[in-house]
Amino acid sequence: MTQEELDALMGGDVDLESIEDEATEESEAIDDITALESSIEEKDEHKWGPPATHENKVVHQLDDVTKESEEKATEIFDIIEGISNDLMEKEESLNSVVENLEANITLFTNLIAKFPDVATFQTQLEKNTAALEELQGVIECLQNSGDSIMNVMDIMQYQDIHRQKIERVINVMRTLSHYMNSLFESQVDDSARVPSAKHLAGDDNNDLASTEDIEALLEQFGK
């Protein structure tokens, strides 16, 4: 507000409502300019692509994928190996129990042959026989679980193959990047070059990239 407008306001010669309207219009104009600038920035980002940050660098992302994938696969293998070892230990323990039951069955079978009238021998023979059959079923289940774990470990080997394929892609991309950088190398420093003309004879489009845009694009390719 100028001094004249301030004096007029103090003298009561200015309509406060008109001043508020002007302030509102000025605020809306500023908002419109801000929205226009944001729109231009979004168009520029869409035109040149996302910035070359760590999250947008392809090779960095692939390196992270292979590293994390290998770490998680190692953890999975360790867990599977622990489960497999536990199953083998339990199977060995149950095999010793099977031997005891088989010895009991042999014993009661002989006792029944010598003392057929003793009902307790027959009862114990039946109990031991049933326990043996149930125990053999448990051992079979443990063996099937061990086989399934081995199949899982075989399938997990494909993870290493996938990692090698990704690493091959990374190597090809890095080779191509080095080749492109070598292809565009020059003995003349960019600071010694004559600035590029923004408009040439015959140009019918004024929507040309600025020097800052070109330098930013070259910088992204350089990374």
Q: How far apart are CA 104 and CA 111, in angstroms?
A: 10
Helices 16-48 and 211-222 cross at an angle (nearest 10°) of 40
Q: How far apart are CA 96 and CA 93, in angstroms?
A: 5
Q: Return the pLDDT at 129.
A: 94
Q: How far apart are CA 185 and CA 86, in angstroms?
A: 61
Q: Return the pLDDT at 141.
A: 93
Q: Which residues contact 159 (CB under 8 A, 6 or more apart)?
A: 69, 73
Segment 77-87, tens digit of pLDDT: 899 999 999 99
Confidence of residue 134 (pLDDT cuts 50, 70, 90): very high
Contact between residue 159 and residue 125 where contact means Cβ atoms under 8 Å apart: no
Prediction pTM value: 0.54
Segment 157-194, tens digit of pLDDT: 888 888 888 889 889 888 988 888 888 888 777 777 66
Q: Where are the domains of the chain?
A: 74-177
